[in-house]
A and B are shown apart, each in its own frame.
Chain A
Amino acid sequence: EAQVTQNPRYLITVTGKKLTVTCSQNMNHEYMSWYRQDPGLGLRQIYYSMNVEVTDKGDVPEGYKVSRKEKRNFPLILESPSPNQTSLYFCASSPQGQGNTEAFFGQGTRLTVV
């Protein structure tokens, strides 16, 4: 089954404790991205990747890191989480840039930083 898989689905952590949210897709898509969704603000792009070892900042990259060592995986790293990073996070992939084609989303990761 074609899918985008995120883990964990739910996470409660403390300020400053490094964490990684994993994202994996099995559709051989070149393009992957991370979004955060907050009430009233919609989805905002954090980082995106056009292919292996090629990443770039989205609209809200501060406090986040990403890597793309393999085509299928695109982890999101929070080196020192803060309460303002409490949010619902989505990973997405698409065969081309998401400005042109359908994006396939993971099921989301609800992160709470206390």
Chain B
Amino acid sequence: RKEVEQDPGPFNVPEGATVAFNCTYSNSASQSFFWYRQDCRKEPKLLMSVYSSGNEDGRFTAQLNRASQYISLLIRDSKLSDSATYLCVVGTGGFKTIFGAGTRLFVKA
């Protein structure tokens, strides 16, 4: 079993749709959680950190469920520019970081 698992997709959604991604992790000692965005053939960039209380940044909402060991990302009112691969990242504290394989999103006009 992979340490961090994501549905690879692709998710094909129309503009304006709401889409949600889930990510599960196996190490219960994990301490930090992030979502990164990666455009085709480009480097990953931090989208948002995920806090225990959940957090929101504009159209993006991230949630953490420690009991079930999953994190989620919700995108509301999808834009064409949201098309990308979304990487779930889990840190066990300090130097160990595990990246999920990513979920591909295509937003269509």
Residue ranges of A at the interface with B (Cβ–Cβ < 8 Å): 31, 35, 40-45, 48, 50, 56, 90, 97-100, 102-103, 105-108
Contact = CB atoms under 8 A, between A and B. Distances in A.
A56 B4 CA distance: 22
Contacts of A50: 95
Interface of B: prevailing SS: loop
A104 B42 CA distance: 12
Interface of B: 4, 8, 31-32, 34, 41-46, 49, 87, 91-97, 99-102
Given A40-B8, A42-B87, A43-B87, A98 B97 contact: yes
15 contacts: A42-B4, A42-B101, A43-B87, A43-B99, A44-B99, A56-B95, A90-B43, A90-B44, A99-B31, A99-B92, A99-B96, A102-B49, A103-B97, A105-B43, A107-B42
A19 B94 CA distance: 30
Contacts of B99: 35, 42-44
A107 B100 CA distance: 19
Residue among B8, B49, B102 with max Cβ neighbours from chain A (10 Å): B102
